[in-house]
Amino acid sequence: MAEAQYQMLVTKLEEQGYINYELSNFGKPGFFSKNNTAYWQGKNYMGIGPSAHSFNGKRRAWNINNNTKYINAIRKNELPMEVEQLTKTDRYNEYIMTGLRTIWGVSLGRVASEFGAVYSDYLLQRSKKYREEHLLYLDGDTLLVTRKGRFLSDGIAADLFMLNLEIKK
């Protein structure tokens, strides 16, 4: 039922000229959310103020969410934030997760250059069953989700994640 409702929503919005540029985001050409697009494409961004998040490609940071504590820390010349350093595997998994949700997909070339041949070979091999089931397809070197696969894309992405235990050097 939920899948049928989602497909109906996509069809109706596409008939009106909207593009389903990310699984849960639609926009007309030239009018995609800059904030969301930066997130889905893994671009750097800086968050300013309480609860704001930042990302520089290798680490994610978020400011504390308490206004009073945030202001008091700033007055003391302190950065009121927590930081998470991302491993190569974390960054690969995040790229798979966000890329498969978008019309831009996952570039095998980018995977090979940023993460190495082990990752791109793994992705190509692991995605084969989804390509055979017509849930994923290759357009040049870009792995994309088919319309049939969109509703399942988060589960597909999770199955394509690399676990640290699976990396063989």
76 domain residue, yes or no: yes
Q: Return the amino acid letter for 102.
A: T
Confidence of residue 79 (pLDDT cuts 50, 70, 90): confident
Cβ neighbours of 156 (radius 10 Å): 21
**pLDDT higher than 90, residue 140:** yes
Predicted model pTM: 0.86
Same domain, 99 and 149: yes
**pLDDT higher than 70, residue 162:** yes
Mean pLDDT for the chain overall: 92
112 domain residue, yes or no: yes
Burial call 16-29: b when 16+ CB within 10 Å, e when fewer: eebebbbbebbbee
Neighbouring residues of 92: CB distance < 8 A, sequence distance ≥ 6: 111, 114, 115, 119, 161, 162
Supply the pLDDT for residue 6: 87
Q: Return the amino acid letter for 70.
A: Y
Confidence of residue 25 (pLDDT cuts 50, 70, 90): very high
| Residues 93-118: tens digit of each pLDDT | 999 999 999 999 999 999 999 999 99
Please state the domain count of the chain: 3
- E strands, the chain, in order: 19-22, 25-27, 53-55, 59-63, 81-85, 106-107, 136-139, 142-145
Same domain, 153 and 135: yes
Cβ neighbours of 117 (radius 10 Å): 10
For residues 32 and 54, what is the distance between their CA atoms, to the nearest angstrom? Answer: 20
Same domain, 79 and 146: no
Domain coverage including residue 147: 88-166
Confidence of residue 169 (pLDDT cuts 50, 70, 90): very low
28 domain residue, yes or no: yes
For residues 114 and 107, what is the distance between their CA atoms, to the nearest angstrom? Answer: 11
Supply the pLDDT for residue 164: 67
* Residue 96 belongs to domain with CATH number: 1.10.10.920
Confidence of residue 42 (pLDDT cuts 50, 70, 90): confident
Backbone angles phi, psi at 19, to 5 degrees: -110, 130
**Range 119-130 average pLDDT:** 97
